[in-house]
């Protein structure tokens, strides 16, 4: 019988090719024209789990995209790890900015380029292959359950119901998730925080139809101008958000916590060059790490009005719209912030227009305690495979369902991410380093071992 590392080495190419096959399935959860692909992807994940040695494999139908469940119970007395991940991906648009087609993965400079390469197929699949490795080398030290969903990128709207009605089946000691990033391969880190989300859509309506901008312009309020002003007013000169009460519930970090966070290596110039920006931006008084990890924000995600086609059209648009989302930090509440936003937006609208506010999905922020068994197990596992102790950091992204897991199942989630912020998640040319993929497969079994050991 081979060791884990021998088994991984012997099966490396197959592991990678299987991931490439998964990446070829365009499981775009937001687009109904991809529903058949999304289902096909769920079935492919289920088959891979069966092949790896899982039992009770089921593609569970929901009102939306299915959830793949599987388990391997080796001994009821051993601790149980519930692996969560998602097989759905973001839409690949804008297609013209990809250097190779998003669902035809290519390998360049040791990196896999494809939609979902990192978020989250590449990272989710590490768990399937790590499980296979433990099965084949007879080294599985914990019971394991898998819950791989297909609606993470669209707000996990059916997962809550599944969790609530499958509490017994999902019983575990910890939830393990690889869907976040590390600072770099030289500076391994563990995300201990996720931000929450409140996502709004607004509409500003002026005249009852599009107007000739010469005939009527100057005498009628332009909704695009009004919306632009309203949005501009949402940050003050220090880039603080102006919505009354917005910061009321924010848990401010202690000076010691801020110092720890800022001790992580970070090169602002490199950050700027990578993004092609001339200067960074953000809330006054905070570093870049603090701005993305510990402070709430408000971003315009989309804005549209009037004529945007080729050439010029002189029009005074009847309405203007925007999608605006706010990232939340511990102790802020998504519903409360949504309401504050809606009240504020309506209160600052001038009497020349009508406004409406619609709420999309949201989610609560999350923190993993660093003095917990899962954190210690993760830290030791990473130290073993990277030769360096990881530092705790706070990710700026959101996985809203994590807070619900804690509420419904009473379980903490351990974020065990192997991506990089520069992997172009949700952007054109998403990528995942093959090195990280294998590193994850190597490190995950160490987590199982330490988790079993420390839980004992």
Interaction site with ligand BES (CB under 6 A): 119-120, 152-153, 155, 179-181, 191, 194, 197, 361, 363, 395, 397-400, 425
Q: What's the DSSP call for residue 254?
A: P
Nearer to ligand BES, 194 or 226 (CB): 194
Among Mn ion, ligand BES, none, the one that 181 touches (CB under a kind-dependent 5 to 8 A) is ligand BES
In the block, tokens 């929450």 appear at: 196
> Counting contacts by CB under 5 A, is residue 149 touching Mn ion?
no
Q: Where are the beta strands (DSSP E) in 231-333?
A: 297-305, 315-316, 319-328
The β-bridge relationship of strands 143-149 and 196-205 is unpaired
Note whether 376 and 416 are within 8 A (CB): no
CA atoms within 13 A on the CB side of 390: 31
The β-bridge relationship of strands 174-177 and 413-415 is parallel
We find the least distance from the C-beta atom of residue 5 to ligand BES, in angstroms, to be 28
Please tell me the distance from the alpha carbon of residue 100 to that of residue 106, in angstroms, as a whole number. Answer: 7
With 0-12 CB in 10 A as exposed, 13-18 as middle and 19+ as buried, what is 328?
buried
Question: Which of 37, 120, 364, 408 is close enough to bind Mn ion by CB under 5 A?
Answer: 120
Among ligand BES, Mn ion, none, the one that 397 touches (CB under a kind-dependent 5 to 8 A) is ligand BES
We find the least distance from the C-beta atom of residue 286 to ligand BES, in angstroms, to be 19
Nearer to ligand BES, 80 or 181 (CB): 181
> Counting contacts by CB under 5 A, is residue 37 touching Mn ion?
no
Nearest to 240 by CA among 281, 288, 199, 269: 281
Nearer to ligand BES, 18 or 120 (CB): 120
Which residues between 152 and 191 bind Mn ion (CB under 5 A)?
Answer: 179
> Counting contacts by CB under 5 A, is residue 88 touching Mn ion?
no
Nearest to 198 by CA among 356, 41, 403, 340: 340
We find the least distance from the C-beta atom of residue 395 to ligand BES, in angstroms, to be 3
Question: Which of 18, 37, 88, 119 is close enough to bind Mn ion by CB under 5 A?
Answer: 119
> Counting contacts by CB under 5 A, is residue 423 touching Mn ion?
no
Q: Which residue is nearest to ligand BES (CB)?
A: 397
We find the least distance from the C-beta atom of residue 194 to ligand BES, in angstroms, to be 6
Note whether 312 and 208 are within 8 A (CB): no
Among Mn ion, ligand BES, none, the one that 398 touches (CB under a kind-dependent 5 to 8 A) is ligand BES
We find the least distance from the C-beta atom of residue 102 to ligand BES, in angstroms, to be 16
Nearer to ligand BES, 37 or 153 (CB): 153
Please tell me the distance from the alpha carbon of residue 295 to that of residue 315, in angstroms, as a whole number. Answer: 40
């Amino acid at each position: 019988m081979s060791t884990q590392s021998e088994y991984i080495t012997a099966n490396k190419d197959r592991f990678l090719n299987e991931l490439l096959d998964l990446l070829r399935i365009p499981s775009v959860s937001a687009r109904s024209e991809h529903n058949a692909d999304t289902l096909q992807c769920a079935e492919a994940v289920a088959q891979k789990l069966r092949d790896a040695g899982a039992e009770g494999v089921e593609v569970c139908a929901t009102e939306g995209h299915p959830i793949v469940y599987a388990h391997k119970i080796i001994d009821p007395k051993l601790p149980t790890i519930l692996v969560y991940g998602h097989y759905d991906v973001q839409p690949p648009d804008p297609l013209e900015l990809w250097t190779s087609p998003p669902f035809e993965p290519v390998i360049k400079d040791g990196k896999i380029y494809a939609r979902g390469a990192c978020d989250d197929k590449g990272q989710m699949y590490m768990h399937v292959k790590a499980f296979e490795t433990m099965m084949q080398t007879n080294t599985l030290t914990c019971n394991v359950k898998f819950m791989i969903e297909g609606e993470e990128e669209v707000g996990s709207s059916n997962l809550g119901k599944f969790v609530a009605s499958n509490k017994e089946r999902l019983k575990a000691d910890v939830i393990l998730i690889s869907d976040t990033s590390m600072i770099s391969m030289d500076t391994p880190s563990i995300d201990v925080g996720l931000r929450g989300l409140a996502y709004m859509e607004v509409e500003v309506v002026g005249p009852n139809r599009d107007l000739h901008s010469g005939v009527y312009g100057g005498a009628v309020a332009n909704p695009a101008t009004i919306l632009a002003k309203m949005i501009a007013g949402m940050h003050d000169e220090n880039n603080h958000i102006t919505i009354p009460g917005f910061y009321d519930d924010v848990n401010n970090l202690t000076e010691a916590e801020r110092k720890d966070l800022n001790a992580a290596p970070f090169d602002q110039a490199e950050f700027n060059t990578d993004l092609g920006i001339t200067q960074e931006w953000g809330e006054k008084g905070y570093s870049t790490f603090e701005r993305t990890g510990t402070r709430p924000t408000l971003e315009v995600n989309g804005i549209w009005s009037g004529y945007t086609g080729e050439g010029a059209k002189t029009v005074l648009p009847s309405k203007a719209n925007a999608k605006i989302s706010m990232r939340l930090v511990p102790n802020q509440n998504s519903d409360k912030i949504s309401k504050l936003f809606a009240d504020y937006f309506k209160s600052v609208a001038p009497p020349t227009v009508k406004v409406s506010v619609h709420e999309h999905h949201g989610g609560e922020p999350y923190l993993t305690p660093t003095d917990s068994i899962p954190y210690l197990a993760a830290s030791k596992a990473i130290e073993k495979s990277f030769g360096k102790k990881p530092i705790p950091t706070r990710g700026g992204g959101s996985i809203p369902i994590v807070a619900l897991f804690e509420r419904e199942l009473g379980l903490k989630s351990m974020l065990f991410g192997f991506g990089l912020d520069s992997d172009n998640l949700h952007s054109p040319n998403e990528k995942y380093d093959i090195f990280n993929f294998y590193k994850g497969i190597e490190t995950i079994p160490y987590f199982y071992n330490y988790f079993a050991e420390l839980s004992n």
